[in-house]
């Protein structure tokens, strides 16, 4: 601060309160070198000056023994009035035994008369002013000016200090006001500020004398560090009841509360509240609950998913993703015949080992990354099909998945044709599977894309048919070449009459559409026989073969063609 004042050639103002003229002159001469000096002859004059100029005064030099109003009385007034309380006071007296009582009464330092050491007086004035200015800066940064709660930085610093002496089990709590930005936009920022102040006031009241502190971390988010309790519902209700008792323009205010119970002191405090914030954010849009507890297992799952998302590109580049091939057999004759195969993706992570497709495929479908996997599978499947075609002189068609996000890629057709051209294949070598769920999204776009692909010779298979997304009416307008029956029906068809009836219904639909059916998930001969009796043409499942790595599938092809 001193450097800034010097740069603008400004001086701090010092109020000298001294009844003896000669002492005022001496002090003025000493201080004028560094400060702007204002003098008062007694306590009443000093208070009058303070009432006019308190904001500009950096220090008071106060004589104790004065007529009209003593220094002790001035000191009491200064410490009792908010507008004066932040001005430091140095007491001046000849009485040595007055030093301790003056300090206890609120004085910040003590100068003994006579004033025969100017350098000591200047040094003490400079030190006290500097200390108060630094304290003032700290105070302004320590508390949120709107609510009076701690700011985030000081909140976490005080927690670290508290933890040195505290062995009580503690909870980290994050409280958020639902759609607060809309309150500001609709009713005005002043209305929003009233609500924030009221919530902060209630938090302070609830903390009371308990072990706990709170801060306003951001616009409408409050952090509370509180001794463990199970009664947070009552806390939320009391706050909302109190808010409801005050006249606000917005009729309904909703709090979301995330709680990290009994925090793990091995983790940093910031992490405690990150976890509580995660729980709080899970309540967005949920109007049936207002409290959520942090679940470490769910967090671990989230970290695991983030790891998978982070590693997808490197694993594609390193070919950690492996394409397996599951055979499809025609069962119309006496002997099953290998008709085609489905390309399935597996992930052999260099550190995590084999990762289940059930872990990464739904994750990548939800965030659009599945498109990268699809393109990788298309390339790998086409490459292996070309290899087998060259070796055996005949290609066994391979089905690859086309995800919903691929349908909206304007370059889809050119990309698929380009892959075929690069590998010397035709559209009869690569079948396209589109999941039934894709047929319920943007049907017009899907019909356009599927028609274009079929015009180029591709065979379209509707995957997971019967999983409940498409309507029977849509089947009359959407072009398909094959129905793949959802494996859940097959799995339960011999145990559940409804599943059996649904399998029969799918067969009836296929006959109506004049397209073949592929039954997935066939694991038992009884299932095979039943499906064959219904007229099912193609079977895929563990009864014939599990998904095979390319090398093993090649051996299977070798045996098939040899026979």
> Of 294, 319, 340, which residue sits at a domain end?
294
Taking the C-alpha atoms of residue 459 and residue 480, their distance in angstroms, rounded to an integer, is: 8
Task: Indicate whether 70 and 168 sit together in one domain.
Answer: no
173 and 124, same structural domain?
A: no
In this structure, the answer to whether residues 233 and 265 fall within a common structural domain is: yes
The answer as to whether 302 is a domain residue is no
Which H/E stretch holds residue 84? helix 82-85
Going from the C-alpha of 192 to that of each of 195, 235, 349, the distances in angstroms are 5, 21, 50
Residues 349 and 476 in one domain: yes
Do 283 and 174 share a structural domain?
A: yes
Is the alpha carbon torsion for 197, 199, 203, 206 positive or negative?
positive
Which three-class secondary structure string do you get for 366-407?
HHCCHHHHHHHHHHHHHHHHHHHHHHHCCCCCEEEEECHHHH
In a domain, residue 400? The reply is: yes
Please check whether residue 454 is in contact with residue 460, taking contact to mean a CB–CB distance below 8 angstroms.
Answer: yes
Phi, psi of 456 (to 5 degrees): -85, 0
**Residue 469: count of CB within 10 angstroms of its CB:** 15
Tens digits of residue pLDDT in 369-423 = 999 999 999 999 999 999 999 988 888 999 999 988 898 889 999 999 999 999 9
Measured CA to CA, the distance from residue 26 to residue 168 in angstroms comes to 58
Residue 354 sits in the same domain as residue 268: no
Q: Which residues pair with 260 in a beta bridge?
A: 172
| Whole-Å CA distances, 120 to 111, 348, 411 | 9, 76, 83
Phi-psi region of 246 (alpha: psi -120 to 50; beta: other; left: phi over 0): beta
| Burial (CB count within 10 angstroms: exposed 0-12, middle 13-18, buried 19+), residue 273 | buried
Bridge partner residues of 334 (DSSP): none
E-only strand ranges, 407-541:
430-435, 460-465, 482-485, 517-519, 538-539
Are 272 and 202 found together in one domain?
yes
In a domain, 532, yes or no: yes
Residues 440 and 409: beta-carbon distance below 8 Å: no
Our CA angle for 63, 69, 73, nearest 5°, is: 75
CA 379 to chain CA centroid, Å, is 35
Residues 448 and 329 in one domain: yes
| 13 belongs to a structural domain | yes
Q: Which domain holds residue 242?
A: 152-294
Q: Please check whether residue 105 lies inside any domain of the structure.
A: yes
Distance CA 321, CA 512 (A): 39
* Same domain? 403 vs 535: yes
The helix (run of H) or strand (run of E) holding residue 221 is: strand 221-227
Q: Write out the E strands in 26-145.
A: 36-40, 57-63, 89-93, 109-112
Can you tell me the distance from the alpha carbon of 59 to that of 487, in angstroms, rounded to the nearest whole number?
A: 84
Residue of 184, 159, 192 lying closest to 260 (CA atoms):
159
- Which residue stretches of 393-471 are H helix? 404-407, 412-423, 443-455
The H or E element that residue 230 is part of is: none
Which stretches of 229-293 are DSSP H helices?
232-244, 269-281
Residues of the chain with pLDDT under 50: 1, 3-9, 469
Whether residue 15 sits in one domain with residue 37: yes
Its pTM stands at 0.62
Of 89, 114, 142, the residue that ends a domain is: 142
Residue 304 within any structural domain of the chain: no
CATH for 496: 3.20.20.450
Q: How many domains does the chain contain in total? A: 3
Residue 488 buriedness (CB in 10 A; 0-12 / 13-18 / 19+):
middle
Task: Answer yes or no: do 54 and 21 share one domain.
Answer: yes
* 10 found inside a domain: yes
* CA distance to 5, 56, 120, 178, 455, per residue, from 2 (Å): 5, 15, 19, 45, 81
Partners of 326 in the beta sheet? 342
Q: How far apart are CA 8 and CA 472, in angstroms?
A: 82
Cβ atoms of residues 492 and 499 within 8 Å: yes
Number of helices (H), then strands (E), belonging to the chain: the values are: 23, 20
């Amino acid at each position: 601060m001193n450097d800034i004042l010097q740069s603008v050639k400004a001086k701090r103002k010092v109020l000298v309160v001294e009844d003896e003229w000669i002492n005022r002159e001496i002090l003025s001469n000493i201080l004028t070198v560094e400060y702007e000096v204002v003098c008062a002859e007694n306590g009443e004059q000093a208070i009058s000056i303070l009432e006019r100029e308190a904001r500009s005064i950096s220090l008071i030099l106060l004589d104790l023994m004065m007529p009209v109003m003593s220094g002790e009385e001035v000191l009491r007034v200064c410490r009792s009035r908010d507008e004066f309380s932040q001005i430091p006071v140095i007491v001046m007296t000849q009485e040595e035994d007055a030093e301790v009582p003056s300090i206890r009464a609120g004085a910040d330092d003590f100068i003994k008369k006579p004033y025969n050491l100017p350098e000591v007086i200047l040094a003490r004035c400079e030190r006290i002013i500097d200390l108060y200015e630094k304290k003032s800066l700290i105070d302004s940064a320590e508390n949120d000016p709107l609510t009076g709660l701690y700011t985030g930085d000081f909140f976490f610093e005080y927690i670290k200090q508290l933890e040195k002496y505290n062995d009580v089990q503690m909870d980290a709590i994050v409280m958020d006001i639902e759609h607060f930005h809309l309150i500001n936009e609709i009713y005005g920022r002043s209305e929003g500020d009233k609500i924030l102040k009221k919530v902060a006031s209630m938090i302070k009241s609830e903390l009371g004398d308990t072990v706990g502190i709170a801060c306003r971390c951001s616009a409408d988010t409050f952090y509370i560090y509180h001794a463990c309790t199970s009664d947070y519902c009552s806390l939320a209700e009391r706050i909302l009841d109190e808010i409801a008792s005050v006249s606000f323009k917005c009729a309904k205010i909703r709090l979301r509360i995330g709680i990290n119970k009994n925090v793990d002191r091995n983790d940093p405090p910031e992490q405690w509240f990150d976890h509580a914030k995660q729980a709080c954010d899970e309540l967005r849009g949920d109007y049936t609950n207002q409290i959520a507890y942090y679940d470490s297992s769910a967090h671990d799952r989230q970290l695991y998913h983030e790891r998978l998302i982070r590693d997808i590109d490197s694993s594609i580049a390193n070919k950690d993703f492996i394409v397996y091939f599951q055979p499809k057999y025609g069962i119309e004759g006496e002997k099953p015949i290998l008709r085609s195969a489905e390309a399935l993706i597996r992930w052999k992570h260099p550190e995590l080992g084999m990762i289940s497709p059930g872990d990464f495929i739904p994750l990548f479908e939800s965030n659009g990354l599945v498109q990268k996997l699809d393109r990788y599978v298309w390339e790998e499947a086409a490459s292996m099909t070309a290899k087998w075609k060259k070796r055996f002189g005949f290609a066994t068609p391979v089905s690859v998945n086309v995800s919903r996000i691929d349908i909206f890629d304007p370059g889809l057709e050119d990309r698929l044709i380009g892959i075929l051209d690069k590998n010397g294949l035709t559209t009869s070598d690569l079948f396209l599977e589109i999941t039934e769920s894709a047929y319920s999204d943007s049907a017009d776009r899907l019909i356009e894309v599927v028609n274009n692909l079929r015009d180029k010779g591709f065979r379209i298979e509707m995957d997971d048919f019967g999983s409940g997304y498409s309507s029977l009416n849509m089947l009359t307008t959407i072009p398909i070449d094959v129905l793949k029956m959802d494996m859940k029906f097959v799995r339960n068809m011999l145990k559940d009459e409804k599943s059996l009836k649904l399998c029969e219904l799918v067969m009836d639909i296929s006959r109506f559409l004049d397209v073949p059916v592929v039954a997935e998930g066939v694991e038992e001969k009884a299932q095979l026989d039943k499906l064959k009796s219904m007229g099912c043409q193609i079977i895929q499942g563990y009864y014939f073969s599990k998904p095979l790595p390319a090398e093993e599938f090649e051996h299977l092809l070798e045996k098939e063609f040899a026979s």
